[in-house]
Amino acid sequence: MSTTINRHEFTIFFDVTNGNPNGDPDMGNMPRIDAETGHGLVTDVCLKRKIRNYVDIVKNDTEGYQIYVGESAALNEQHRKAYRALRDGDIEQAKELKPKDKSEAALLTKWMCHNFFDVRTFGAVMTTKVNCGQVRGPVQFTFARSVDPILSQETTITRQAVTQEGAEKEREMGRKHIIPYALYRMDGYISGHLAGQTSFTTEDLELLWEAIINMFEHDRSASRGQMSLRKLIIFQHDSLLGKTPAHRLFERVGVETSGDHNPARSIGDYHITVDYNDVPEGVTIIEKW
């Protein structure tokens, strides 16, 4: 596999219709919102979860493509796999495991990067009682932010089933928080320098693009409504360190309203634009979606 990755930046747009893209448990699972502006937010962790789930589906625990942060995985047990592979003798009874020296520490971290896709992609802090070190990942996401302020609605639903026995003649009420419609933007970064340190390959990069494009297709639920990726824009540099500041490239991506869209209720109410004029030398713009 090729391990030469140049610097990239990318922008994605996705939308939600009659759903809650990322509930806030501290606010009764209401959609996350910027209290000052009213814009909706989706955390980087939420989107990375969807990437991990897609890779887990398509690779199905293939060697080199295991998922470190699983939905029910114990992290110490994930770390113990590295010690089993690199150490002789019984390590199962040890509650704490630490590298013997810097050489073994490097081997443990390298093993984790080689075997877990999300470790070499997003990085991981693995300095628990079963210590495998710390990895700074080459791929980083920002929070996604809605293009316009959102309106969070609380809808009441009638639940036919009851919770307690003896109350069969009663009906229980429930609530759902939804956004009628919102278009979100997220920016991302890929460091060629860090990709070399974690052995993030060109094959991994193509899998990342594939996962981003398909991450909502295998994440359907009643609470999230209809979510769709609308655009993936990639800024590809021809060198490890890149040719121009990332913010200058992100400023080339904009959103225009299409006619009277107050309030917006579909992607047809927006027009996503990319400025191709005077693109810096050494930068290629790719629209994959």
What are the pLDDT digits (tens) for 174-211?
778 899 999 999 999 999 999 999 999 999 999 999 99
Measured at the CA of 150, the angle between CA 144 and CA 154, to 5 degrees, comes to 115
Q: How confident is the model at residue 261 (pLDDT cuts 50, 70, 90)?
A: low
Are the C-beta atoms of residues 65 and 117 closer than 8 Å to each other? yes
Distances (CA, A) of 169 to 165, 243, 254: 10, 69, 55
Residue 2's pLDDT band, with cuts at 50, 70 and 90, is low
The pLDDT of residue 168 is 55
Q: How far is 211 from 213, CA to CA, in rounded Å? A: 5
Residue 33 forms beta bridges with which residues? Answer: 40
Q: CA–CA separation, 209 vs 218, rounded Å?
A: 15
Angle at 194 between CA 190 and CA 197, to 5 degrees: 145
Helix/strand/coil for 177: strand
pLDDT band at 3 (very low <50, low <70, confident <90, very high): low
Q: What is the pLDDT of residues 71-112, one digit of tens each?
A: 878 999 999 999 999 987 777 778 899 999 999 999 999 999
**Euclidean distance between CA atoms 134 and 119, whole angstroms:** 9
For residues 256-276, average pLDDT: 88
Interval 156-179 mean pLDDT: 71
Question: What sections of the chain are H helices per DSSP?
Answer: 44-59, 75-86, 102-115, 117-122, 192-198, 202-214, 246-250
Does the pLDDT value for residue 162 go beyond 80?
Answer: no
User: Which of 53, 52, 107, 63 shows the shortest CA–CA distance to 85?
Assistant: 107
pLDDT at residue 84, as a whole number:
92
Angle at 281 between CA 198 and CA 184, to 5 degrees: 65
pTM of the entire predicted model: 0.92
Q: Which of 62, 104, 57, 72 is nearest to 210 (CA)?
A: 57
- Of all residues in the chain, what percent carry a pLDDT higher than 70? 93
Whole-number mean pLDDT of the chain?
Answer: 91
- Under the banding of pLDDT at 50, 70 and 90, the label for residue 167 is low
Q: What is the pLDDT of residues 131-156, one digit of tens each?
A: 999 999 999 999 999 999 998 887 87
